[in-house]
Amino acid sequence: MPLGGTMACEKPLAVVTCTAPVNIAVIKYWGKRDEELILPINSSLSVTLHQDQLKTTTTAAISKDFTEDRVWLNGREEDVGQPRLQACLQEIRRLARKRRNAWDGDPPPSSLSCKVHVASVNNFPTAAGLASSAAGYACLAYTLARVYGVESDLSEVARRGSGSACRSLYGGFVEWQMGEQTDGKDSVARQVAPESHWPELRVLILVVSAEKKLTGSTVGMQASVKTSPLLRFRAESVVPARMAEMTRCIQERDFRGFAQLTMQDSNQFHATCLDTFPPISYLSPISWRIIHLVHRFNTHHGDTKVAYTFDAGPNAVIFTLEDTMADFVAAVRHTFPPGSNGDTFLKGLQVRPAPLPAELKAALAMEPTPGGIKYIIATQVRPSTLWGFFSCQRGPPRLGPAPCPYRVSGRKPECLWLLCFIHLLSKEAAGHW
Ligand code: PMV
């Protein structure tokens, strides 16, 4: 852990720890109309996943003794000068300044002049098409807001880090309205339905590859905006109606409609990638086998029981209902027999082992591809918990949820806590999967 020894004598003014979830878009965001403010060319809609399986944990500490801002990601120090990080930091400090200037009574203790140290870890592979940047920047925005005492809407701050991050600020089903204003003030995330709305909904993440993707979403989007006529058509003529239809499917818990639209929208997003010049391809041959598996499974049942969606990577996110989970996992195990990791192939929620019926096996008609899927994470939409959407804490950092006090001023925890915490986090990240 590359933390300087001088840390041991520094006393942070405040230490805050928060966690944030991953979200998976069912109507995809792809393309910006403003690169700096990160304003999208279309609205998008996503499902926020349970933090038990996928989450980012971030600790931020501010101190008068810190001489520079510093950031660690998964135990490695990162360049704090990265434009996205800088945009979030500057935006938070601007909001904190605005709040202090608007204060009537005694001004709150000034933390604005303090530098910040931030340590963040994911409990899942980073940058592998598992929306790590969404959880990461939502968590950064929220943690910085708590530590600098900012209480306004954080869509703008999270969005400046990674567009899709603003959707991770809410649980359940969330839309990111593209907005119309040039300053982006109306480009905000909003909950469409709470996490408790559809308790039977289940999510399986089929990890095909945990490697970093070849074309990052920023570069990919820029290329698509410049060269893909399909992308323009999609944004103007397809997405508005799909947003309305997807909202209806969610509100009415119409799984068939939800599943069909999710697959169609994923396919159109990947079609725009192929329409980009030079073309971008995120799907691998295994991704395609998963697509065929889902369609054959649905055809066999004479109904749409399972849906796939793919972000900027080969990993599939599967939506299904609780009563179909076990059968579909059996179909996946048959089609992609696990290697030596049979016992740990399925992580997350418990799924009852089910035999694969002979008729379904015949209907799948697929030669098994051993090791094609590395592992599965079974999860669900995050249910409401006692702790609210984020957990944060003051005082000695602890792993795990704690009530969110929203105020951190007045405490002077020893920075040794931060040191220990960062160390614990990096150990947790290294050992998790
Ligand atoms: O927020 P970014 O820049 O990581 O882009 C996310 C793009 C997709 O994951 C492909 C789609 C989406 O809406 O999340």
User: What secondary structure does DSSP assign to 35-98, as a single string?
Assistant: TTTTEESS-EEEEEBPTTTSEEEEEEEEETT--S-EEEETTEEE-TT-HHHHHHHHHHHHHHHH
Instruction: Please tell me the residue having the least CA distance from ligand 1 atom 10.
Output: 311
Q: Ligand 1 pocket: which of 217, 231, 280, 315 to mutate (most atoms <8 Å of CB)?
A: 217
Residue 35's CB is within 10 A of a number of other CB atoms, namely 11
Question: Which is the closest atom of ligand 1 to the Cα of 218?
Answer: 3
- How far does residue 175's CA lie from ligand 1's centre (Å)? 13
Residue 220's CB is within 10 A of a number of other CB atoms, namely 20
- How far does residue 59's CA lie from ligand 1's centre (Å)? 24
Kindly state if the Cβ of 265 falls inside 6 Å of ligand 1: no
- How far does residue 291's CA lie from ligand 1's centre (Å)? 20
- How far does residue 126's CA lie from ligand 1's centre (Å)? 14
Kindly state if the Cβ of 63 falls inside 6 Å of ligand 1: no
Q: Which amino acid is at 420?
A: C
Q: Residue 413 has what pLDDT?
A: 37
Place of tokens 């979403």: 217
Kindly state if the Cβ of 43 falls inside 6 Å of ligand 1: no
Tokens of 300: 């066999």
Q: Residue 12 has what pLDDT?
A: 62
Could you say which DSSP state residue 381 is in? B
- How far does residue 44's CA lie from ligand 1's centre (Å)? 9
Q: Residue 75 has what pLDDT?
A: 87
CA dist 68 and 198 (Å) reads 45
CA dist 97 and 117 (Å) reads 19
Domain 12-195+387-394+410-432 grouped into CATH 3.30.2270.10? no
What does pLDDT average to in each consecutive run of 10 residues of the chain (433 residues)?
A: 32 81 96 97 97 90 91 92 96 90 64 89 70 89 91 93 95 97 96 95 92 86 98 98 98 98 98 98 97 98 98 96 97 94 90 94 95 94 47 40 28 43 48 40
CA distances in angstroms from 48 to 80, 196, 232, 337, 383, listed in the order given: 28, 12, 27, 29, 10
CA dist 48 and 174 (Å) reads 7
Q: Ligand 1 pocket: which of 221, 311, 315, 317 to mutate (most atoms <8 Å of CB)?
A: 311
8 Å CB contact between 186 and 177: yes
Question: Which is the closest atom of ligand 1 to the Cα of 23?
Answer: 14
Question: Which is the closest atom of ligand 1 to the Cα of 165?
Answer: 1
Q: Residue 108 has what pLDDT?
A: 57
Kindly state if the Cβ of 335 falls inside 6 Å of ligand 1: no
Give the domain ranges of the chain: 12-195+387-394+410-432
Q: Find all residues with CB under 8 Å of 300, minimum gap 6, and list them.
A: 359, 360, 363, 364
Q: Residue 15 has what pLDDT?
A: 86
Q: Residue 432 has what pLDDT?
A: 40
- How far does residue 132's CA lie from ligand 1's centre (Å)? 10
Residue 8's CB is within 10 A of a number of other CB atoms, namely 11
Buried b (16+ CB within 10 A) or exposed e, 251-267: eeeebebbbbbbbebbe
In the chain, helix, strand, coil percent, each to 5? 40, 20, 40
Q: pTM for the complete prediction?
A: 0.87
Q: Residue 429 has what pLDDT?
A: 44
Query: Residue 287 belongs to what H/E stretch?
Result: helix 285-301
- How far does residue 244's CA lie from ligand 1's centre (Å)? 20
Kindly state if the Cβ of 28 falls inside 6 Å of ligand 1: yes
Q: Residue 385 has what pLDDT?
A: 39
